[in-house]
Amino acid sequence: MPADDAPERAPTPTLRPVAPGLEARLGHRIDVLDHGFIRVIDYMGDDAAVVQAARVSYGKGTKAVREDRGLIRYLMRHRHTTPFEMCELKLHVKLPIFVARQWIRHRMASVNEASARYSVLDREFYLPRPEDLATQSRDNKQGRGEALSAEAAAEVLRLLEDDALRVHRTYTRLMDEHQLARELARMDLGLNTYTQWYWKIDLHNLLHFLALRMDAHAQWEIRAYADQIGALVADWVPLCWEAFRDYRLGALTLSRGELDVLRAMLRGEAPDPEAAGLSPREWRALRAALGLDA
């Protein structure tokens, strides 16, 4: 089945829970980056499945939606995890290899990746947009700093594209002219080469993935995928997504020292972050989160 086509399926009756918002997305390609995509292959469960598991009951019961929403918010607020594990999502993802190597760090998923031992990889590689090219950050060892000038960005993109094309030519030449095994020829390919996989994960671990990868500190390329997956989750389990957005994405967790400082400020006292055990970096982060430096 082509990656950009929704599956041709005749509607069939089912007794399992159906999430209308995600049903409409099944099989449809969502473009990410320049050649990447996400497709929903299948899913299991909905908001009611989380509630059902928490109540250890059969069927959807007679509870009102308002009560279901309250229970889901309680579960999210108090970090009860197993009810959210009752829902699962399976995606087909096409992504650059360097993004895949970040992604695979989230180990609580089932993954089946395309093998370059069995098939020849397409001549597709990731090239950033000029506005996404930046220098190394001076205060963040794994982040970007100032954007490159238009001239520098153009030169960087030229170098990246020239290298990627040259490497892929060598890759195909090794196999065609020298009859080198595919499993050996692939070692010359760059990290911006695209790969594909099927990725299945339960809702609890998916939300943990999104909390980290939708964060502003995550690398932009993996964040682009996470943002699209977040939109899918919002269509799939809207009550869970609302609670996740309120208690995880838009929330702030405070340490004991940070609470001491905040309580002092609320009493009208001058805060003493050093006495509370906060490092200068922690104090700066807390002030920024509370909007005190705005």
List the chain pLDDT tens, one digit each, 294 residues: 344 555 566 677 888 889 999 999 999 999 999 999 999 999 999 999 999 999 885 455 546 667 899 999 999 999 999 999 999 999 999 999 999 999 999 999 999 999 999 999 999 999 999 999 998 888 777 778 889 999 999 999 999 999 999 999 999 999 999 999 999 999 999 999 999 999 999 999 999 999 999 998 899 999 999 999 999 999 999 999 999 999 999 899 999 999 999 999 999 999 999 999 999 999 999 999 899 876
How many domains does the chain fold into? 3
Domain that holds residue 3: 1-125+194-251
C-alpha of 123 from chain center: 25
Q: Catalytic annotation on 29?
A: no
Q: Does some domain include residue 284?
A: yes
Residue type, 271: P
Q: Does some domain include residue 171?
A: yes
Same domain, yes or no, for 89 and 208? yes
Same domain, yes or no, for 31 and 117? yes
Instruction: Give the integer Cα–Cα distance in Å for 39 and 26.
Output: 7
Instruction: Give the integer Cα–Cα distance in Å for 125 and 189.
Output: 10
Q: Does some domain include residue 294?
A: no
> Are the CB atoms for 205 and 214 separated by under 8 Å?
no
> Are the CB atoms for 214 and 223 separated by under 8 Å?
yes
- pTM score of the predicted model: 0.89
Q: Does some domain include residue 231?
A: yes
Instruction: Give the integer Cα–Cα distance in Å for 2 and 4.
Output: 6
Which helix (DSSP H) or strand (DSSP E) does residue 37 occupy? strand 36-44
Cα–Cα nearest to 94, from 116, 113, 120, 119:
113
Same domain, yes or no, for 38 and 168? no
Q: Which candidate in 213, 223, 256, 284 is catalytic?
A: 213
Q: Does some domain include residue 85?
A: yes
> Are the CB atoms for 149 and 134 separated by under 8 Å?
no
